[in-house]
Structure formats: C-alpha cells, structure tokens
Amino acid sequence: MTERAWRNWYLVPYGIWLVLFVIAPIVFLLYESFLDIDGHWTVANYEKVLTPIYLKMMAYSFWYAFLITLVSLLIGYPTAYWLTKTRHKQLWLLLLILPMWVNLLLKVYAFLGLFGTYGLANALLQTLGVGPRQLLFTDFSFVFVSVYIFIPFMVLPIFNALEELPPSLIDAARDLGASAWTTFRRVVFPLTLGGVKAGCQAVFIPALSLFMITRLVAGNRVITLGTAIEQHFLVTQDWGMGATIAVVLMAAMAVIVVLTGTGRKEGSR
C-alpha cells in the first residue's frame, strides 16, 4: 500500500468524527426547524423568528456580543502588546491561561459571591464610603463576567501576531522619523490585524449564544437568543422553534466567519 493510501486511511477516524458530531447535529437541527410542537411539517417557525419579539432579541444578542468583543479588544490588545515586552512572557501567558482550566460554572458562581450583597466588591465599596450597590443582575455584571471569561481568547491570537511581527519593520519606521503612535498606526496594527480578527471571531461568535452567564449573572435583565434556545428546548419543549433560532444563529456565525476569514492572510502580507 502506497504512502498516499495510508494517509487516506488516517483520515477515516476524522471523517467519522466530523459526520457524527458536526454534520449530523446540523442536519438534525435543520430537520427539527421545520417541525411544530406537535411534530407536523411547517415553515411557521421561520415566520415567527422574524416577528418583532425575536428580532429585538436578536438585536440584543448582537449588541451584547459586540460590547463584550469591543471591551475584550480594548483590554486584550494592550495586554498582548505588554506581554511581548516582558522578560518572563511565558510565565505571564501561563498565568493568563490557567483560569481557562477552571470549570466555567465554578468561575461564574465565584462571581456570584464576589458581586453579592455581602461580597468582596460591596465590602470594598463600603470601605471607600460609596455604600453597597446592586451589582448582580445588571448589564454591568453580565458584560464584566463575560469579558473575564473571554479575554484569553482575545489576547492569545493578538500576542501570536505581535510575536511574528519582524522587529526590523519597527526599527525602519523609527529610523524614518515616525513617532511611536504613527509606527503603531501605520505598521504594527495593520500587520497584526489578522490576530485582531481571529480574536474578535473567538469572542464574538460564542458571545452570541451565551445563556448560562445570562441566567446566573444577569437574571432576567438580559434576554438573548441563547436564552431563548434554552427556554424552547428545556422549558416549553418546542424543539422546532429552538432549532429554528439555532439555525438562524449558525447562519449569522457563518456570515461573521466569512467576513473576517481573510484576516490571517492580510496580516501576514
């Protein structure tokens, strides 16, 4: 048997995994999206998802995902830039990655204690003379916890892009009289745009479908498509409507991937 044939055989487990855990679930969702709660074939689910209540929910989902991505980028880019300048960058990267090893539910419950009425955050505010505040079940707590969860996914691709940037280009810009800001704006940022786009993808796409953080930290103040999917599958048992929202969400994610998918090539030129 030739080496090429052996290589094809190696692809078999990957192909099986792809069919079972990627293609089959998508096909199942597409099929379910055309069924009503009684199991009858219908297109009413797609008509319903275009009603004002679901369009408003979709707008909220995109707004919060955009806000989480923007805050993550504003914090993540300077952090990644600072990491490239430190002496012990591998140690700092390890400290950044370590929280990712902790279960997501445990991290969210930790913030419930920190932001609670008698939590550390309110104790600090009371010490400063501000007094206790309602921190849980607010937009602020939802965005804060979400940014904390997703920030490593923004920092890591930007850090890799900055590490791959040839120092000679920065030196050349400075030799030509460019200021630090001009060097960043005309050289550093355009050449690391691939990492920025990859980080935005890694944050924006999962932020679109958040439901656990929405439930536990924001309460009923933040209603997103992820929350609606959870409700339809687990509470109302309307799998068809839940599948329809999931299909719309997947389509939106696919569009985002297509729009930002050329970032790596652009950044490497």
How far is Cα 89 from Cα 49, in angstroms, rounded to an integer?
Answer: 47
Classify residue 51 by burial, with Cβ atoms within 10 Å: 0-12, 13-18, 19+: exposed
Using one digit for the tens of pLDDT, what is the confidence trace for 63-108?
A: 999 999 999 999 999 999 999 988 888 899 889 888 888 888 899 9
For the chain, how many structural domains are there in total?
A: 1
- Percent of the chain with pLDDT strictly greater than 90: 52
Is this structure's pTM higher than 0.85?
yes
* pLDDT higher than threshold 60 for residue 266: no
Q: 3-state DSSP call for residue 41?
A: strand
Using one digit for the tens of pLDDT, what is the confidence trace for 161-177?
A: 999 999 899 889 888 88
| CATH number where 167 lies | 1.10.3720.10
Structural domain for 114, as ranges: 33-268
* pLDDT higher than threshold 80 for residue 21: yes
121 belongs to a structural domain: yes
Residues shown for the chain: 269
59 belongs to a structural domain: yes
17 belongs to a structural domain: no
Q: Enumerate the β-bridge partners of residue 35.
A: 41
Classify residue 250 by burial, with Cβ atoms within 10 Å: 0-12, 13-18, 19+: middle
**What confidence category does residue 47 fall into, taking pLDDT thresholds of 50, 70 and 90?**
very high
DSSP 5-46: HHHHHHHHHHHHHHIIIIIHHHHHHHHHTTB-TTS-B-SHHH
Q: 3-state DSSP call for residue 230?
A: helix
pLDDT at 1: 57
* pLDDT higher than threshold 80 for residue 264: no
151 belongs to a structural domain: yes
How far is Cα 36 from Cα 78, in angstroms, rounded to an integer?
Answer: 49
Mean pLDDT of the 33-56 span: 92
